[in-house]
Amino acid sequence: MNGIEFFKRLLGSTAPETVQHGTSMQAAAGTRMLVVDDSPTIRAVLGKMLGQDGYTVQKAVDGETAIALAKAEQPELIFLDIVLPGMNGFAVLRALRHDPLTRHIPIVMISGNQQATEQFYVQRFGADDFIKKPFGQREVQQSIQRLVHAGRLPVRAPAAAPAHPVAEMAVNPYKDAADAMPGMAA
């Protein structure tokens, strides 16, 4: 897979899969999420995907930092890479599951390493879901939807329709530019 295909898949489609009765289920806006990955690209792109969906995102580059952040900040969901420098994702998962402060937090394991993927299925230590790299926005949204559907994350309230429809206003995009530049007429 070349670089362009990787980023297209990573950014994916923005249409979430429906979970039940034709309705999309999202976690509540502002849900706190922790992204743990040693790749700055994955941290940035996954963080952006989650931020665009209205979630609050923190990031960690290694397992030790992830555990400290999970204990201190109590995120409502953790995306945890398996292959990390130092303490690997399996060890982080075990540590989080054994700690009373963090054992309740849903954890989605992520990896592009085929061997680690196979190991995950053989030695499942209590992760709530798994996403294989490269992944797109759709896979991330589907994972969150499964956790919402399972009652592991709070459901986002449906958006209320405005009481009075707002008439669309015509906007002249050149007006402000002309005002800002002396000698230009709108």
181 within a domain of the structure (yes/no): no
**Cross-strand bridge partners of residue 108:** 79, 129
Task: Give residue 120's pLDDT.
Answer: 62
What pLDDT is attached to residue 42?
A: 96
The answer to the question of residue 61 being in a domain is yes
Residue 163 lies in a domain: no
| 82 part of a folded domain | yes
Q: Annotate 61-80 with b (16+ C-beta within 10 A) or e (fewer).
A: bbbbbbbebbeeeebbbbbb
3-class secondary-structure state, position 88: coil
The reply to whether 99 falls in a domain is: yes
Buried b / exposed e along 119-142 (16+ C-beta atoms within 10 A): ebeeeebebbbbbebbbbbbbbbb
Rounded Cα distance, 60 and 29, in Å: 21
Predicted local confidence at residue 32, as pLDDT = 97
Question: What integer pLDDT is reported at residue 121 of this predicted model?
Answer: 58
- Based on the structure, what is the number of domains in the chain? 1
| Confidence at residue 115, expressed as pLDDT on a 0 to 100 scale | 74
What's the token pair of residue 48? 């952006």
Question: In this structure, is residue 174 part of a structural domain?
Answer: no
CATH number for position 43: 3.40.50.2300
Range of the domain at 52: 3-14+24-158
113 found inside a domain: yes
What's residue 19's pLDDT?
A: 37
Q: For the chain, which residues score pLDDT lower than 70?
A: 1-23, 116-124, 159-186
